[in-house]
Amino acid sequence: MKLVERYIFRQTLAAFVMGLVALAGVLYVTQALRELDLVTSKGQTLAIFFSMTALWMPMLVMIIAPVALLIAAIYTLNRLNSDSELVVMTAAGMNQWRLMRPLLALALIVSLVIAGISLYVSPRSLKAMREYINAVRTDLVANILKEGRFTEIEKGLVFHIRERTTTGQLRGILVSDDRDPQFSYTYIAEDGLLVDVPTGSYLVLQDGNIQRRNKAEGSLNIVKFERYAFDLSQFSGEKDVVYFKPREQLTSELFDHTTLAYQNSPGRVIVELNERLSSPLYPIAFAAIAMAALGRARTTRQSRGGAVFVTILLSGATRLIGFAGASIGVKYMPAIALMYVAPIGATLLALVHIASSVTFRLPRFIADPANRLGEAIRLATDRLTRRLGLAAEPS
């Protein structure tokens, strides 16, 4: 790259990183809150919580990266024009194809990263996430052995442990079982111990009693015992087979037609495979659309809000067509072609528009509000960029 192309590349890269970090942070919080109740209700630590939710990041980056690149391209081209740099470059004989080279280079890098994430990293992280969640849900030691807490294993079944010794012995055990529609049971014991045997897991209670209350009559029966084994195997889930959704399967597994996911819904598996293959096409399409709409220099009297509006509209329509192809393709396989036609078609149309040297103009009744909206977006992004110290200066 020449000096001016490296300058454009650095500008776009800085804006891309800023947008990626900001959007990823917002989406990470929304995804993490979904698992917060699972972790806190099961007595897990913050370290486990952050380890689990960090596995969402590859998928979030894969989703956000094309959008961040589009925002970066819009911001960079607008800034170059507002600072009259685009006018100077054009006057010096630099055409749109030269301007597109740094954007296309960054788009190719982002596409390669997305391809690696979608085909390899994201499936592995989501699969590990599913195993992590399953382990947390079936971790009886973490669920039950929390001193001084009443823990509800399932609706109507509550455990309480007063103390756990260093040798693993439990003291002050209370188990309330209200799942039976006719009777409720309360198990109270001085001591207890968790025991794993080939037939299952048991909580062995010592020196206690069982209180059985008839819900209809209100009568109460108390039975004392020296030793009683409470079966925990029904809650451990250790023998359950973890079901992985198509998104959580490795790419190589999507080609296996004997898997449970393919037998249950072959359409979803095929759509997921094509989604991974088509995802890297969108950064290139978005960069081409931005260059076609915003790559020509305009005077300060010519607002670029309409061009920004068109860029966002066409990029959003391109992605929505891809989503529609994925949704319809589950039932109607030929629709999967839309997942490739949308980004490739948008890229080709943008390149044809660049080569035609025709400036697209919106009708006035659309252009005026679009210009105001685009100008507000431009001013907001300029302020945010300067506040974060990411605005690059010419070299």
- The predicted-structure confidence for 283-294, as pLDDT tens digits, reads as follows 999 999 999 888
* SS3 assignment, position 146: coil
Task: Give the whole-number percent of the chain exceeding pLDDT 70.
Answer: 76
C-beta of residue 221 within 8 angstroms of C-beta of residue 197: no
Per-residue pLDDT band for 215 (boundaries 50, 70, 90) equals: confident
C-beta of residue 74 within 8 angstroms of C-beta of residue 68: no
Q: Exposed/middle/buried for 334, CB within 10 Å: 0-12, 13-18, 19+? A: exposed
The pLDDT value given to residue 392:
44
What is the DSSP annotation of 178-244? --SSSEEEEEEEEEEEEEEETTEEEEEEEEEEEEEEETTT--EEEEEEEEEEEE-HHHH-TTPPPPP
Q: Strands of 157-164's sheet, edge to edge?
A: 150-154, 157-164, 170-177, 183-197, 200-214, 220-231
- Distance (Å, whole) CA 75 – CA 61: 20
Per-residue pLDDT band for 239 (boundaries 50, 70, 90) equals: very low
Q: Domain limits of the chain?
A: 3-137+244-388, 141-236
Examine the pLDDT at 365 and tell me if it is beyond 80.
no
Per the structure block, which two tokens stand in for 183?
Answer: 């009777």
Per the structure block, which two tokens stand in for 264?
Answer: 């249950």
Return the bridge partners of 191, or none. 171, 206
The pairing of strands 200-214 and 220-231 is: antiparallel
Degrees to nearest 5, angle at CA 155 with 218 and 159: 80
Cα-based distances in Å from 269 to 42, 118, 129, 257, 343: 32, 14, 19, 9, 21
Residue 261: phi and psi, rounded to 5, are -65, -40
**Residue 124 C-alpha from the chain's centroid:** 14
What is the average per-residue pLDDT within 170-194?
A: 89
Per-residue pLDDT band for 298 (boundaries 50, 70, 90) equals: low
Examine the pLDDT at 105 and tell me if it is beyond 90.
yes
Q: 124-133, pLDDT tens digit by residue?
A: 988 888 777 6
